[in-house]
Amino acid sequence: MLCRHRHSTDNAVGLSYTTGPKLARLAAKYRPLAPTLRDLVLRPDTPLDPNVKDMIVRQLDSAERRLAAICG
């Protein structure tokens, strides 16, 4: 997931290497993005092959489950 924040790009890659209270804070930050990104990917005017859309949606579903587990 990419997210623009204060003149830098934040793609959540650091989440895999984060522990402690910061992990829950970051998970809560990214969790709301998954449904929005899913909706954008599934739009009819998104120029991706259906199999690519399906793969991205599966990845977003997996990310959403992981983030939900972290958030509790």
Count of structural domains, the chain: 1
Distance of CA 14 to the CA centre of its chain: 13
Range of the domain at 7: 3-71
Q: Which parts of the chain sit beneath pLDDT 50?
A: 1-2, 4-9
CA distances from 30 to 8, 17, 47, 48 (A): 16, 15, 24, 23
Q: What is the pLDDT of residue 44?
A: 96
Q: What is the pLDDT of residue 8?
A: 47
Tokens 């924040």 belong to residue: 5
Predicted model pTM: 0.73
